[in-house]
């Protein structure tokens, strides 16, 4: 069902994992998708080519979202190609899991630069350049709702994203733009599973009501709904997509 027909949707960090699944799902629903990537050109091009091969519409644009000038250029290029941007999906993010005592200044800065500053940069650009009656979907995490050792800095960045989203919703609501965040639980992506032994994955899976971790498609479906006109009365909310883990 083409619930997003002709909407122009910018997805950051969309070359792989959840971001790529989101891009595929949005394109299948009729959207024109901008696949943003930081460094994985080959993966971004593959995502675009797969969408085109299924009859969808997509382009890839490189930009480091932590760089404000690069974000401005990202919007410039997207609008030059499609004429506007209707929906912004802030999926780009990094996760470094270390006990707080072992977290370096570089670890701290890197996560805040991408997860918080990256979201701030794109929302600041969207404040004046996103189309009226558009939508913004930011990414938080369900780990904010539990206390997992090793995730302190990561959850701090995502708590900041939730609050940025809530306040920003009141700043752009007069243009009909709704702003929400989504909090995935453990999801079967390379970012999450890399370096984790099977017993750890199984333990995390047991926390959900369905005894499994999420799949990228589980998250992509929620994003597609929030990007649709059916979700326009929902704003300033954080949506847990975690199988009941928290």
Distance CA 90, CA 74 (A): 13
Confirm whether 25 is domain-assigned: yes
Marked catalytic residue, from 37, 82, 151, 154: 154
For residue 28, being part of any structural domain is answered with: yes
Residue 205 placed within a domain: no
Give residue-wise pLDDT tens across range 112-122.
999 999 999 99
* Angle made by CA atoms 109, 191, 86, in degrees to the nearest 5: 80
What's the whole-model pTM score? 0.96
Assess whether pLDDT exceeds 90 at residue 192. Answer: no
Q: For the chain, how many structural domains are there in total? A: 1
Q: Are 224 and 25 spatial neighbours (Cβ–Cβ below 8 Å)?
A: yes
Say how far apart CA 162 and CA 144 lie, in whole Å.
10
Q: Which long-range contacts (CB under 8 A, 24 or more apart) does 63-66 make?
A: 63/12, 63/36, 63/38, 64/38, 65/12, 65/13, 65/36, 65/38, 65/90, 65/92, 65/114, 65/117, 65/118, 65/119, 65/121, 65/122, 66/113, 66/114, 66/117, 66/118, 66/121
Look at residue 201 and tell me if it is in a domain. Answer: no
Q: Is residue 68 part of a domain?
A: yes
CA angle 199, 202, 205 (to 5 degrees): 155
For position 48, what pLDDT does the model report? 98
Domain that holds residue 73: 8-186+217-233
**pLDDT confidence of residue 230:** 97
Task: List pLDDT tens digits, range 20-66.
Answer: 999 999 999 999 999 999 998 999 999 999 999 999 999 999 999 99
Average of per-residue pLDDT across 175-194: 92
Residues, the chain = 246
Q: Are 183 and 238 in contact (CB under 8 A)?
A: yes
Specify if 32 maps to a domain: yes
pLDDT at residue 97 tops 80: yes
Percent above pLDDT 90 for the chain: 93
**What's the average model confidence in pLDDT over 131-137?**
98
Q: What is the pLDDT, as a whole number, of residue 1?
A: 57
pLDDT digits (tens, 9 = 90+) for 218-234: 999 999 999 999 999 99
1 within some domain: no
Task: Check which CATH number belongs to the domain holding 58 and give it.
Answer: 3.40.50.720
178 lies in a domain? Answer: yes
Torsion of CA 18, 119, 195, 100, to 10 degrees: -150
Whether residue 82 lies in the annotated active site: no
């Amino acid at each position: 069902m083409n619930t997003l027909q002709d909407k122009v949707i910018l997805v950051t960090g969309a070359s792989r994992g959840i971001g790529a699944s989101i891009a595929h799902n949005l394109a299948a629903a009729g959207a024109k998708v901008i696949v943003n990537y930081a460094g994985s050109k080959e993966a971004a091009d593959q995502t675009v080519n797969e969408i085109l091969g299924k009859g969808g519409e997509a382009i890839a644009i490189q930009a480091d979202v932590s760089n404000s000038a690069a974000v401005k250029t990202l919007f410039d290029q997207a609008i030059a190609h499609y004429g506007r941007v209707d929906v912004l999906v802030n999926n780009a993010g990094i996760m470094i899991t270390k006990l707080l005592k072992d977290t370096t200044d570089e670890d701290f800065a890197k996560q805040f630069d991408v997860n918080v500053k990256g979201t701030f940069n794109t929302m600041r650009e969207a404040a004046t350049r996103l189309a009226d009656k558009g939508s913004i979907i930011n990414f938080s995490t369900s780990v904010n709702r539990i206390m997992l050792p090793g995730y302190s800095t990561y959850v701090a960045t995502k708590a900041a994203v939730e609050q940025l989203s809530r306040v920003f919703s009141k700043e752009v609501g007069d243009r009909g733009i709704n702003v929400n965040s989504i909090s995935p639980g453990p999801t079967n992506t390379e970012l999450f599973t890399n370096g984790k032994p099977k017993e750890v994955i199984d333990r995390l899976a047991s926390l959900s009501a369905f005894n499994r971790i999420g799949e990228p498609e589980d998250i992509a479906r929620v994003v597609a709904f929030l990007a649709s006109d059916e979700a326009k009365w929902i704003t300033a909310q954080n949506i847990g997509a975690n199988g009941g883990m928290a």
